[in-house]
A = this chain, B = another copy of it.
Amino acid sequence: MECTVRLALKEDCKDILRMIRELAEYEKASEHIKITEEMLMEDGFTDNPSYRCLVAELPPGQTSKEGFSIVGHALFVFSYSSWKGRIVYLEDIYVMPEFRGHGIGKKFMKMVAKIGVESKCSAIQLAVLKWNDTAIDFYLRHGATDLTSGNGYQVFRFDEEATRQLALEEEK
């Protein structure tokens, strides 16, 4: 199966949103999704995009069971490490179940790495759910290190409410 992995176009946002939802469902987190097709179009396709995205496209004429020709996505940002400088943060990497096992995930990783190197990034970082053994095996096989094991890192998030509270709180 010869999938093409390419940079996403604005027209792909509908498919990207569909796959973000599929991935959230797989991660049992659908209720956390606030993103919309409009946000994806506005944030990713300006002169100074907030994120970048790759999609996997089936050859002309082929579709998934449900009739989709876009069957995977990899969404990433250019982030920054105060130790290393520019790095890639890979937010999502997703392939529809029907198309797994054909090396599409690998193609995504290679292309993200290539774009990262060309953009002078010196590392790729990502988060994965602890029970997602398939993904973890994949990352370890390709040379990734777990930063959260042992005495490593914990990741915290201030959600929208906590962020607003902080921003608004009176100076004492």
Q: Which residues of A contact B (CB under 8 A)?
A: 20, 23-24, 29, 32-35, 39, 43, 48, 50-51, 75, 77-86, 88-89, 91-92, 103, 109-110, 112-114, 116-117, 121-131, 136, 139-140, 142-149, 151-167, 169, 171-172
Contact = CB atoms under 8 A, between A and B. Distances in A.
A148 to B, nearest CB: 5
A171 to B, nearest CB: 8
Contacts of A139: 156, 158
B160 A122 contact: yes
Contact of A35 (B84, B113, B152): B84
B86 A82 contact: no
B158 A83 contact: no
A160 B122 CA distance: 5
Per assembly, the copies of the chain total 2
Nearest to A31: B83
* Pairs A-B, 10 closest by C-beta atoms: A143-B162, A113-B166, A51-B80, A113-B167, A144-B156, A127-B153, A124-B158, A114-B167, A122-B160, A147-B155
Nearest to A117: B167
A136 B160 CA distance: 19
A158 B142 contact: yes
A10 to B, nearest CB: 16
Contact of A77 (B80, B92, B154, B158): B80
Nearest to A157: B125
Given A43-B80, A79-B79, A113-B164, 16 more contacts: A35-B81, A50-B86, A75-B80, A77-B80, A84-B160, A110-B169, A110-B171, A113-B158, A113-B167, A122-B163, A123-B160, A126-B156, A127-B156, A142-B165, A143-B159, A143-B165
